């Protein structure tokens, strides 16, 4: 693992970071430019679809016989991003689990505040089950806010009496919209992308007057009992480090099988930078082994 790689990536991300005080529209535009600059591998096919009336990106990888399903939730603090921009990461999970991936294009705030994203995520999962896909053949995955949404959807599905997927994989999960994790401040200088000043306005966009400590908004405060195995990955150079650490602690206290995988010296959702960072591929490989071991057949 190369310190030079880490430093190069850090410099690139600092150049593309959102300015504090920038508008939602400006942040959406910048994020689209950043994600569209990374073309998908030629073996990855993406097409539009729906699950339970919710738009999704259906992602397959040539040469991978899909025996399972990854239900994927993109990041973007519930305000930015889309299902197609996450297709690269979703395909990486799919290829490692012999799965077809569905990236959920859940509604975004501020146009559609909480609980729109939560409702869409559950509807997509219910639709998979309704189509006859066995819960034991499904895994959830997601990055950043999508990681938080994946955990919230596990809690929501459990509370609705639905069978739960085989496992879930969350990368740099955003699980505390009260922004109470100490690393929000202690990792400010190390994090090239995020800080409290950028996150706070987007929290308001999403919560729209609701308590940010609600379990389905901030699943670090949820009752996690009965959830399937979780693998949580995070880097040490990110303000959301403690969101991941506390989620793992809460899961362990609830007797959930959980693996907390912390990689030093890397930024938020470092798995997205495989061409630049050896740690990205290694982390995805570890997660793939975790998920595959818990899927049937």
pLDDT, tens digit, for every residue of 22-32? 999 999 998 88
Average pLDDT over residues 282-289: 98
Domain boundaries, the chain: 3-294
Residue 33 pLDDT level (bands cut at 50, 70, 90) = confident
User: pLDDT digits over 217-238, tens only?
Assistant: 999 999 999 999 999 999 999 9
Per-residue pLDDT for 68 more than 60? Answer: yes
Two structure tokens written together for 160 = 């609705």
The verdict on whether omega for the bond into residue 115 sits within 30 degrees of 0, i.e. cis, is yes
Q: Which of 143, 172, 183, 238 is catalytic?
A: 238
Let me know if 32 is a catalytic residue: no
Average pLDDT over residues 6-28: 93
Q: What is the phi-psi region of residue 41: left when phi exceeds 0, alpha when psi lies from -120 to 50, beta otherwise?
A: beta
Q: How many CB atoms lie within 10 A of CB 67?
A: 13
Q: Which of 85, 143, 268, 279 is catalytic?
A: 268
In our burial notation (b when 16+ CB lie closer than 10 A, e otherwise), range 163-173 reads ebbbbbbbbbb
Q: What is the pLDDT of residue 1?
A: 56
Q: How many CB atoms lie within 10 A of CB 160?
A: 10
H or E stretch including 272?
Answer: none
Q: What is the pLDDT of residue 16?
A: 86
Please report where in the chains the tokens 């099988």 appear, as a residue.
257
Let me know if 74 is a catalytic residue: no
Q: 32 by DSSP, 3-state: which?
A: helix
Residues of the chain with pLDDT > 90, as a percent, come to: 94
Q: Which of 85, 91, 103, 144 is catalytic?
A: 144
Per-residue pLDDT for 180 more than 90? Answer: yes
- Residues contacting residue 98 through CB under 8 Å, at least 6 positions apart: 64, 65, 66, 67, 68, 292
Per-residue pLDDT for 214 more than 70? Answer: yes
Q: What is the pLDDT of residue 2?
A: 79
Burial of residue 82, with CB atoms counted within 10 A of its CB: 0-12 exposed, 13-18 middle, 19 or more buried: buried
Q: Please choose, from the candidates 77, 131, 80, the residue with its C-alpha nearest in 3D space to the C-alpha of residue 102.
A: 131
Q: What is the pLDDT of residue 297?
A: 57
Average pLDDT over residues 158-181: 98
Is the CB of residue 227 less than 8 Å from the CB of residue 164?
yes
User: pLDDT digits over 132-160, tens only?
Assistant: 999 999 999 999 999 999 999 999 999 99
Per-residue pLDDT for 67 more than 60? Answer: yes
In angstroms, the first-to-last Cα distance of the chain is 33
Query: What pTM was estimated for this model as a whole?
Result: 0.97
In our burial notation (b when 16+ CB lie closer than 10 A, e otherwise), range 210-219 reads eebebbbbbb
Helix H segments across the chain? 3-16, 24-36, 87-96, 116-130, 145-159, 183-186, 196-207, 241-253, 278-294
Per-residue pLDDT for 37 more than 80? Answer: no
Per-residue pLDDT for 81 more than 60? Answer: yes
- CA 153 to CA 129: how far, in whole Å? 14
CATH 1.20.140.10 for the 3-294 domain, yes or no = no
């Amino acid at each position: 693992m190369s310190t030079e790689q880490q430093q190069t990536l850090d410099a690139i991300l600092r150049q593309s970071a959102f300015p504090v005080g920038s508008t939602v529209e400006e942040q959406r535009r910048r994020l689209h430019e950043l994600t569209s600059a990374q073309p998908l591998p030629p073996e990855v096919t993406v097409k539009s679809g729906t699950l339970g009336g919710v738009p999704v990106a259906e992602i397959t990888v040539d040469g991978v016989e899909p025996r399972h399903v990854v239900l994927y939730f993109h990041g973007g603090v519930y305000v930015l991003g889309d299902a197609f921009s996450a297709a690269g990461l979703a395909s990486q999970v799919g290829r490692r689990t012999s799965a077809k991936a569905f990236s959920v294009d859940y509604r975004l705030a501020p146009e559609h505040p909480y609980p729109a994203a939560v409702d869409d995520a559950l509807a997509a999962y219910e639709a998979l089950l309704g189509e006859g896909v066995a819960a034991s053949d499904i895994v959830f995955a997601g990055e950043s806010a999508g990681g938080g949404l994946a955990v919230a959807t596990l809690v929501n599905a459990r509370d609705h009496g639905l069978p739960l997927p085989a496992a879930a994989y969350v990368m740099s999960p955003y699980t505390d919209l009260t922004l109470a994790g100490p690393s929000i401040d202690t990792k400010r200088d190390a994090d090239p992308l995020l800080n409290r000043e950028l996150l706070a306005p987007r929290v308001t966009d999403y919560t729209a007057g609701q308590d940010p400590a609600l379990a389905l908004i901030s699943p670090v405060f949820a009752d996690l009992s009965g959830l399937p195995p979780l693998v949580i990955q995070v880097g040490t150079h990110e303000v959301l480090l403690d969101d991941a650490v506390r989620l793992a602690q809460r899961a362990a206290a609830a007797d959930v099988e959980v693996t907390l995988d912390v990689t030093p010296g890397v930024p938020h959702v470092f798995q997205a930078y495989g061409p630049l960072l050896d740690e990205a591929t290694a982390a995805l490989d570890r997660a793939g082994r975790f998920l595959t071991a818990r899927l049937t057949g």
